[in-house]
A and B are shown apart, each in its own frame.
Chain A
Amino acid sequence: MGREVAESCVDSILTEMVSTYCNRFYANKPELAARRIEAIGYQVGHQLSERYTMERPRFNDHLEAIKFICKDFWSELFKKQIDNLKTNHRGTFVLQDNKFRWLSRMSIDPSENGDLSQDNPEAAENKAAQMTSMHLYFPCGIIRGALSNLGIPCAVSADMSNLPACSFVVRIKA
């Protein structure tokens, strides 16, 4: 059994990292904040996948590598596997986690929304959705970093239209 820390350490650091980039560094440039958050995830994914594949034979094809992400890799991070994997057999894979841990444990601090929540609930809701999607750039970066370390360049986006389920769409670059 490797070393462990309380899950709230990870939750705290992720919440604070997203808030630092979105609210303090790039408050008016969400696309720049998103890029930085994704880059941090990319580094983490790249390093983790390096560590988790050290004693494993090379993957023969893309599907094997994706299955590794869905099973072993996801289990190391979230103690569960991806629930559903779909592919169009032309380089696009959809990985669905029915209860994505980082979303189900996350709460958006209402104080960050200022007065919006009282005067304008709709705007407050938009802001909350925006913060949630900002949080998802991190796991998207992790997946892209992990696959890139396995020699698979790709683009990863997240779909959170069915919360608390979350789908990650991986498009492999030809």
Chain B
Amino acid sequence: MAPVAPRSGDAIFANVERVNAELFTLTYGAIVRQLLTDLEEVEEVNKQLDQMGYNIGIRLIDEFLAKSNVSRCVDFKETAEVIAKVGFKMFLGVTASVTNWDADGTCCSIVLEDNPLVDFVELPDTCQGLYYCNILSGVIRGALEMVSMKTEVTWLRDMLRGDDAFELQVKLLKQVPEEYPYKDDE
């Protein structure tokens, strides 16, 4: 029988190589600032951050699967819980919660109250429309695509825009059945 998915990423986070979060936070901030200078349009920066996140997500999923021992989630509900409780914890050291499920269990919100990406960050008025943490939505979308789930990830709440938490809506668009390139008995 497949091992049961861990309920929290605490133990994994305690065992991975960790670094000072300031370096990460300031590096991300410097990248966003450089993108704003180079691309000028806030919309384009949002797009690039999402693309960078997607590229990271499609690679990070391997590390996630290898270190978390998560095998197969029974449904999208379990998937969302694993992202919030194990995924966020094991990489960013924070835990998110899952709420606002729709009736058919294909759309929910991941809520983040503590987010290391925004430590020391304040957005000037000129950055209205910027989804500063857009890299996160890209990471989730990219990672899920690698395990055959097409999703759409959008921001509903953003503390840098004055909300009381970060809320990402994750909507399952399509689940592609996995096809193996080999037969079972080979």
Which A residues are within 8 Å of any B CB, using their own CB? 2-10, 12-14, 16-17, 19-20, 25, 36, 39-41, 43-44, 47-48, 51, 76-77, 79
Contact = CB atoms under 8 A, between A and B. Distances in A.
B93 A20 contact: no
A6 B93 contact: yes
Nearest to B56: A12
B101 interface: no
A75 B59 CA distance: 28
Contacts of B48: 20
Contacts of B30: 40-41, 43-44, 47
26 contacts: A2-B22, A3-B119, A4-B18, A5-B21, A6-B13, A6-B16, A6-B90, A6-B93, A9-B92, A10-B23, A10-B24, A12-B56, A13-B24, A13-B31, A13-B56, A14-B27, A16-B52, A19-B55, A20-B51, A40-B27, A41-B30, A43-B29, A43-B33, A48-B23, A48-B26, A77-B23
Contact of B20 (A2, A19, A47): A2
Contacts of A16: 52, 55-56
Interface centre among B29, B55, B116 (most CB of A within 10 A): B55
Interface centre among A2, A3, A10, A25 (most CB of B within 10 A): A3
Interface centre among B16, B19, B55 (most CB of A within 10 A): B19
A79 B92 CA distance: 19
Given A7-B16, A8-B16, A25-B38, A2 B60 contact: no
Contacts of A14: 27
Contacts of B20: 2-4, 76-77
Interface string B1-24: 000000000000100111111111
Nearest to B48: A20
Interface residues of B, number: 34
Given A2-B22, A20-B52, A13 B93 contact: no
Contact of B91 (A2, A5, A43): A5
Nearest to A20: B52
Given A19-B55, A48-B26, A77-B23, 6 more contacts: A5-B93, A36-B34, A39-B34, A43-B33, A47-B30, A76-B22
Q: Secondary structure at chain A's binding surface: helix, strand, loop or mixed?
A: helix
B104 interface: no
B28 interface: yes
Given A3-B119, A20-B52, A48-B26, A8 B63 contact: yes
B60 A10 contact: no
A2 to B, nearest CB: 6
